[in-house]
């Protein structure tokens, strides 16, 4: 186990694809995707909900594993983001297929999560930190509204839970628009901050 002195900064020597955390990421991604596909095939919402639960549980586990065993990498962070979006799209597209009245709020939410939020999340690569979880070292305001624990919970679970519990498409649309607005404001803050560009290394003369 790490001794609590783990650095938040990336180290090129630590970068690799296969770690315990990324294995968990791939397993939960395939499992959650399969369950969502079964849900669409069987036209049973319960399978989609189980797939969503596997996605959420696995997403928490792979992050915790990476921190517990000090195997956080930038590669792993990007893989996790990509897999999150695959699982998210599988659930929501299946959900909208089974309940067409949810198509509009789902479309707005997917644009927010798959496009705007993805761009924001990838921005950490412009700085030498391990993942967006440490973006407070770059900008505390952007971190608080996007990757603090309350912000991540609202962005990843509030929308789905309220849609499933209430069945009110208009409430889902209001939440999706609010999330999109927040992400657009965060994007403006990020662009004002600027994305640093690594200096070009001089080419070695032959």
pLDDT in tens, 33-83: 999 999 999 999 999 999 999 999 999 999 999 989 989 999 999 999 999
CB contact burial 173-202 (16+ within 10 A = b; e otherwise): bebbeebbebbeebbeebeeeeeeeeeeee
Res. 4 pLDDT band, cuts 50 70 90: very low
Res. 179 pLDDT band, cuts 50 70 90: very high
Averaged pLDDT for residues 189-196: 94
Alpha-carbon dihedral 161, 166, 171, 176, rounded to 10 degrees = 20
pLDDT in tens, 114-151: 999 999 999 999 999 999 999 999 999 999 999 999 99
Give yes or no for a contact between 51 and 36, defined as CB atoms under 8 angstroms apart: yes
Please tell me the distance from the alpha carbon of residue 121 to that of residue 106, in angstroms, as a whole number. 20
Domains of the chain (ranges; CATH) run 12-193 (1.20.120.1760)
């Amino acid at each position: 186990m790490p001794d609590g002195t783990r650095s938040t900064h990336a180290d090129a020597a630590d970068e690799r694809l296969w770690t315990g955390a990324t294995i968990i990421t791939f397993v939960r991604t395939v499992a959650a995707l399969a369950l969502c596909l079964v849900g669409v095939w069987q036209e049973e919402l319960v399978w989609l909900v189980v797939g969503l639960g596997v996605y959420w549980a696995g997403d928490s586990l792979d992050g915790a594993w990476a921190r517990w065993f000090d195997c956080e990498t930038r590669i792993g962070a990007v893989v996790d983001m990509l897999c999150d979006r695959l699982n998210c799209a599988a659930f929501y597209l299946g959900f909208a297929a089974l309940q067409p009245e949810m198509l509009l709020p789902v479309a707005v939410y997917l644009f927010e999560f798959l496009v705007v939020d993805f761009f924001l999340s990838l921005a950490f690569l412009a700085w030498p930190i391990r993942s967006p979880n440490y973006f407070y070292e770059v900008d505390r305001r952007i971190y608080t509204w996007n990757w603090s624990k309350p912000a991540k919970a609202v962005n990843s679970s509030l929308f789905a839970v309220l849609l499933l519990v209430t069945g009110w498409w208009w409430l889902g649309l209001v939440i999706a628009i609010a999330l999109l607005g927040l992400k657009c404001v965060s994007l403006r803050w990020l662009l004002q901050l600027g994305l640093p560009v690594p200096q070009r290394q001089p080419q070695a003369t032959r």
